[in-house]
């Protein structure tokens, strides 16, 4: 038997990230690979995705949300075990935990547990968005989510716990976790322009929900609105990269990647 362990991973020779997402999520991995392939500065970055099994992803009622929370948290450790088989250097939490957990301490708790369990650093949405908003000096924000009223309340509470002023929010109230990926870009754009940015004096628009891609929308709207449009997938990846020493500006990924 030949041992090639002394050689670098041919594809992930610079940094290997484990990415944990709900099994219903069809957007986040696609978004992150899109960013990797847009710019040669990210050549050698690898993403190794492990799904958290959530077999009944309904979100229509409080009971549905509680069940979804139970499924995700119960399945998280098994997903981490699978991700660790690829021997990643660092982990990314591909989930808007504020959707299912209320308050920043509740959001931080399962991440702290997984950091201790895995022995690796994790890039999370709550840390990433706080760092991104601070880069822009943003305090007054509008929130775009796929959530229902409960999820929106939880999201607003998390941002307020982090020290930001939530001036407005808009949720699409998706009936299940699969539907989130089907919200069309025109609806996101309309909500950002008409419900958030135009009606309020915002420092930034923030989008929650990893199964709702915002890459193309942000690229179109940021020049028009003149404020940062911070989508969860791009922001969390930005934070993971910056925490791992990648400082290069990245094209086609919004102001955050170009300027910070």
Q: What does pLDDT average to over the chain?
A: 92
Question: Is 8 contained in some domain?
Answer: no
Span of 11-25, 101-115, 233-247 with lowest mean pLDDT: 101-115
State the CATH number of the domain containing residue 135.
3.40.50.1860
Same domain assignment for residues 19 and 116: yes
Average pLDDT over every residue of 161-175: 94
* Residue 151 belongs to domain spanning: 126-231
Question: Is 202 contained in some domain?
Answer: yes
Same domain assignment for residues 117 and 246: yes
Work out the pLDDT band at 210, boundaries 50, 70, 90.
very high
Nearest one of 135, 159, 153, 100 to 256, comparing CA atoms: 135
In the prediction, which pLDDT does 68 show? 75
Same domain assignment for residues 89 and 112: yes
In the prediction, which pLDDT does 246 show? 92
Same domain assignment for residues 119 and 77: yes
In the prediction, which pLDDT does 248 show? 87
Same domain assignment for residues 138 and 118: no
3-state per-residue secondary structure call for the chain: CCCCCCCCCCCCCCEEEEEEEECCCCCHHHHHHHHHHHCHHHCCEEEEEEEECCCCCECCCHHHHHHHHHHHHHHHHHHHHHHHCCCCCEEEECCCHHHCCCCHHHHHHHHHHHHHHHCCCEECHHHHHHHHHHHHCCCEEEEEECCCHHHHHHHHHHHHHCCCEEEEEEECCCCECCHHHHCCHHHHHHHHHHHHHCCCCCCEEEECCCCCCCHHHHHHHHHHHCCCEEEHHHHHHHHHHHHCCCCCCCCCCCHHHHHC
Question: Is 67 contained in some domain?
Answer: yes
Same domain assignment for residues 93 and 133: no
Please give the tally of structural domains in the chain.
Answer: 2
Question: Is 141 contained in some domain?
Answer: yes
Question: Is 10 contained in some domain?
Answer: no
Question: Is 71 contained in some domain?
Answer: yes
Does position 239 have pLDDT exceeding 80, yes or no?
yes
Q: What is the pLDDT of residues 214-226, one digit of tens each?
A: 999 999 999 999 9
Same domain assignment for residues 155 and 215: yes
Average pLDDT over every residue of 146-165: 92
Same domain assignment for residues 24 and 115: yes
In the prediction, which pLDDT does 85 show? 97
Does position 194 have pLDDT exceeding 90, yes or no?
yes
In the prediction, which pLDDT does 51 show? 94
Same domain assignment for residues 27 and 51: yes
Same domain assignment for residues 19 and 117: yes
Same domain assignment for residues 246 and 151: no
Average pLDDT over every residue of 56-80: 79
Q: Is the full-model pTM beyond 0.85?
A: yes
State the CATH number of the domain containing residue 82.
3.40.50
Question: Is 59 contained in some domain?
Answer: yes
Same domain assignment for residues 40 and 78: yes
Q: How far apart are CA 128 and CA 56, in angstroms?
A: 29
In the prediction, which pLDDT does 2 show? 87
């Amino acid at each position: 038997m030949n041992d090639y362990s002394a050689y670098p991973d041919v594809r992930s020779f610079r940094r290997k990230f484990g990415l944990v997402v709900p099994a219903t999520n069809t957007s986040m991995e696609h978004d992150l690979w899109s960013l990797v392939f847009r710019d040669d500065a990210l050549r050698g970055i690898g993403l190794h995705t492990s799904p958290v099994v959530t077999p009944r992803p309904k979100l229509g009622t409080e009971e549905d949300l509680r069940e979804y929370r139970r499924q995700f948290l119960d399945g998280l450790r098994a997903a981490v075990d699978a991700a660790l088989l690829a021997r990643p250097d660092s982990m990314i939490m591909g989930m808007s935990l504020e959707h299912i957990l209320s308050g920043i301490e509740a959001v931080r708790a399962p991440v702290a547990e997984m950091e201790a369990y895995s022995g690796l650093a994790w890039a999370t949405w709550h840390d990433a968005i706080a760092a991104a908003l601070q880069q822009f000096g943003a305090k007054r924000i509008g929130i775009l989510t796929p959530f229902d009223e409960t999820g929106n309340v939880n999201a607003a509470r998390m941002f307020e716990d982090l020290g930001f002023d939530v001036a407005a929010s808009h949720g699409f109230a998706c009936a299940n976790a699969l539907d989130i990926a089907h919200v069309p870009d025109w609806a996101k754009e309309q909500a950002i322009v008409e419900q958030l940015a135009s009606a309020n004096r915002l420092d930034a628009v923030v989008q929650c929900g990893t199964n709702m891609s915002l890459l193309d929308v942000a690229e179109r709207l940021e020049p028009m609105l003149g404020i940062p449009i911070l989508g969860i997938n791009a922001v969390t990846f930005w934070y993971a990269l910056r925490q791992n020493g990648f400082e290069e500006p990245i094209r086609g990924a919004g102001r955050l990647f170009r300027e910070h």
